[in-house]
Every structure is written in C-alpha cells, then in structure tokens.
C-alpha cells in the first residue's frame, strides 16, 4: 500500500495548490504502517492463542447439498475445517464461484471454521432463490465497504490524519457502498482525477486476491487493537454488549488491514470486478462519506450500463449520518 499512497499523494499535491493550507496541525501519533503492524501483531497472537485451545482434532460430518438437492457427505475437522476446505474436496469450479456459505441455514464466511456436524450450502453470485440472492448481495456490498476502508486508510500521506469511523449496513438499493471517514482536511473538494486515482488503488488492491479472515475476540483485545482510533474505541463496548456473550467483537483481516464488522464477508477480494469511486461527500467539517459502486467479477455489463450505475452512486447515500461526539 505504500506505493499506492505515494501515487495518490502526487495527485493531491498537483491538484490542490492549497492542500497544505487545508491540513490542520493535528498530527497522527503513529504512521499508518506502524498502526497496522501493531494491529496485525495483536490479531496474530490472539488467533494463535485460540488455535492452541483446540486440544485435539475431532471429526465432524458435513452434508453438502448441491444441485438437484443431491447430498455429498464429507468428513472434516471440527473447529478447523471451513466451507472453503469443503469446496476443495468437491470441485474446482465450485471453489472458484462460492461467495458465502450456509451452515445449518445460517450465512457463514467461506473461511470461518465449522464447529459441529452440519448441513452445508455454497452460494454464488447468481442464485435462483431470491432469499439467497439477497444474502449474497448484502455480503458483497458489505465486503466492498470494508475494502474501501482499507484503501482509504492507506491512501493519504502520513501528515493527513485518516480516522475510519464506520460503514452503514449493506443496502444494495441505496446505489452505493459507503465508508464514513474523518480527515484533517478543511473543505476538501476532490476532483474527478482524485476519484479515478482512488478507484485505481481500490481495483489494484482487490486484484491481489486477499482472503477475508474472521476472528471473534474479547472486547478487551479489540480495544487494544483500536486504541489509536477514538471512534472504534467508543463503538466497541456498545457492539460487544449486543453479542451473545456480552463481550465479543468480530474483526476481519484483509491483507494488512483489520476492521470491525459482524459480517459475513465474501471469500476473497478477487470476487470484486469492475468498480468505481463515484463520489466523496463532505458531511461536516473534516468528515467525509466515500461512496463506490462495484460488480462481482463474474458479472459483465457494457460501459453505458455501468455509467448509469455510477450516476446513481454519485448521489449522497441516504444511510444515517453518524452522530459525532468527538472533535
């Protein structure tokens, strides 16, 4: 991401002669690379700890329901094997097409371990069942918001403080996926060239085929991960209180980026195809709503049709604007 950040910087420097005047004197406490490195260290340590809690491998039966309701029985490892691993045992085409899974009727990440005997379905981007189509579309849109946050966080030079706030629940009908971000830039008016550069960075990032890795952690661990982000630190206790244990937070890792989301997410960033950063709306001083539109990699439309989607995505997304309690 360092190269991407430099490219964007050169564009910002050329396009905004007053950029340096717009940057406040607030400096980030850590470089983004240092912040991400510390989060990754905490994530990896916690993941290793949880793996160590599995005393020995136990076998489970996974009944995969395929075409024409045909069932294939698989013997997998409890708490270790994932829907992705199950797909590996069936066929290559299924492995490539599967976006999310259903485990005993619950939408499930492809790389999330299966805890017990179950019925398994693997969903792709063109399901015939309307309910499944809704589930898949929401997972895709949610994942695009997550990826947008990853790109934004690493897109600016270090003296421009970037603080990710949150992204709203996936709503395909809104016309755009969203991430709300605080930047220490006053009255920034991005040009079309800036949008194109961010879109190019987004496209480059998703093509690197990053897996979405899920991890449920205690709220105390999550607070350590995001101690540099006042917004996340404020959100974590409220999110944890709504969990089944009252203390659990779900985080995802994509590449070197970690963020909070209940999920589920798509299997890999490579499932995202054509995309565009349609608009960046200033919500208030230093607070911006980044909006994008994307298609799954297996869906192709002509330039004119995609232009219609982009035009719709430029309108301010109607999702609720977060109430900011911090400066």
Confidence of residue 54 (pLDDT cuts 50, 70, 90): confident
Q: What does the pLDDT read at residue 67? A: 80
In degrees and rounded to multiples of 5, residue 182 shows phi and psi of: -100, 125
Report d(CA 114, CA 61) in Å as an integer.
10
What is the CATH T-level fold of the domain 59-132, as seen in this structure?
Ubiquitin-like (UB roll) (3.10.20)
**122-169 pLDDT, tens digit each:** 999 988 889 899 999 999 999 999 999 999 999 887 778 899 999 999
Strand order in the sheet with 213-218: 213-218, 248-254, 257-260
**H/E segment holding residue 311:** helix 303-314
Nearest to 143 by CA among 234, 265, 35: 265
**270-309 pLDDT, tens digit each:** 999 999 999 999 998 789 999 999 999 999 999 999 999 9
Report d(CA 265, CA 252) in Å as an integer.
9
Confidence of residue 3 (pLDDT cuts 50, 70, 90): very low
Nearest to 297 by CA among 266, 258, 261: 266
- DSSP codes joined into one string, 101-136: EEETTEEE-TTSPP-SSEEEEEE-SS-SSHHHHHHH
Q: What does the pLDDT read at residue 248? A: 98
- Give the pLDDT mean for 74-100: 95
Report d(CA 151, CA 325) in Å as an integer.
25
Confidence of residue 116 (pLDDT cuts 50, 70, 90): very high
Report d(CA 172, CA 318) in Å as an integer.
12
Q: 57 with 77: CB under 8 angstroms?
A: yes
**Where do the domains of the chain lie?**
2-47+143-314, 59-132
**219-253 pLDDT, tens digit each:** 999 999 999 999 999 999 999 999 999 999 999 99
Q: Is pLDDT at 326 greater than 70 in this prediction?
A: no
Q: Is pLDDT at 29 greater than 60 in this prediction?
A: no
Q: Is pLDDT at 176 greater than 60 in this prediction?
A: yes
3-class state of residue 279 by DSSP? strand
Q: What does the pLDDT read at residue 159? A: 79
Confidence of residue 6 (pLDDT cuts 50, 70, 90): very low
Report d(CA 63, CA 38) in Å as an integer.
40
* Domain 2-47+143-314 part of CATH 3.30.420.40: no
Report d(CA 266, CA 137) in Å as an integer.
10
Q: What does the pLDDT read at residue 30? A: 64
How high is the mean pLDDT of the chain? 89
Whether the CA torsion 139, 140, 142, 146 is positive or negative: it is positive
Confidence of residue 106 (pLDDT cuts 50, 70, 90): very high
Cα–Cα distances in angstroms (integers) from residue 235 to residues 26, 54, 179, 228, 230, in the given order: 23, 30, 15, 13, 9
């Amino acid at each position: 991401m360092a190269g991407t950040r430099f490219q964007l910087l050169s564009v910002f420097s050329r396009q905004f002669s007053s950029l340096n005047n717009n940057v406040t004197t607030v400096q980030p406490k850590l470089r983004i690379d240092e912040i991400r490195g510390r989060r990754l260290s905490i994530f990896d340590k916690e993941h290793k700890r949880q793996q160590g809690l599995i005393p020995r491998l136990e076998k489970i039966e996974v009944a995969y329901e395929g075409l024409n309701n045909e069932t294939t029985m698989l013997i997998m490892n409890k708490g270790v094997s994932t829907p992705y691993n199950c797909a590996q045992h069936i066929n290559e085409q299924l492995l490539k097409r599967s976006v999310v899974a259903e485990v005993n009727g619950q939408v499930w990440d492809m790389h999330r371990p299966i805890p017990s005997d179950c019925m398994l379905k693997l969903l792709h981007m063109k399901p015939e069942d309307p309910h499944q189509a809704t589930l898949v579309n929401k997972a895709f849109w949610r994942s695009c918001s997550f990826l947008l946050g990853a790109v934004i966080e690493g897109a600016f030079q270090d003296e421009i403080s970037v603080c990710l706030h949150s992204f709203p629940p996936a709503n395909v009908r809104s016309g755009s996926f969203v991430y709300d971000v605080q930047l220490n830039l006053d009255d920034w008016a991005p040009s079309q060239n800036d949008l194109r550069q961010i879109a190019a960075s987004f496209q480059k990032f998703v093509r690197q085929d990053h897996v979405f890795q899920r991890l449920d952690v205690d709220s105390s661990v999550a607070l350590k991960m995001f101690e540099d982000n006042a917004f996340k630190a404020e959100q974590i206790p409220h999110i944890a209180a709504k969990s089944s244990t009252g203390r659990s937070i779900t985080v995802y890792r994509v590449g070197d980026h970690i963020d909070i989301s209940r999920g589920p997410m798509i299997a890999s960033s490579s499932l995202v195809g054509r995309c565009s950063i349609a608009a960046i709306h200033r919500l208030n001083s230093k607070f911006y709503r980044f909006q994008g539109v994307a298609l799954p990699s297996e869906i192709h439309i002509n330039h004119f049709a995609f232009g219609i989607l982009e035009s719709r995505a430029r309108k301010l997304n109607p999702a609720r604007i977060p109430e900011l309690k911090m400066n």
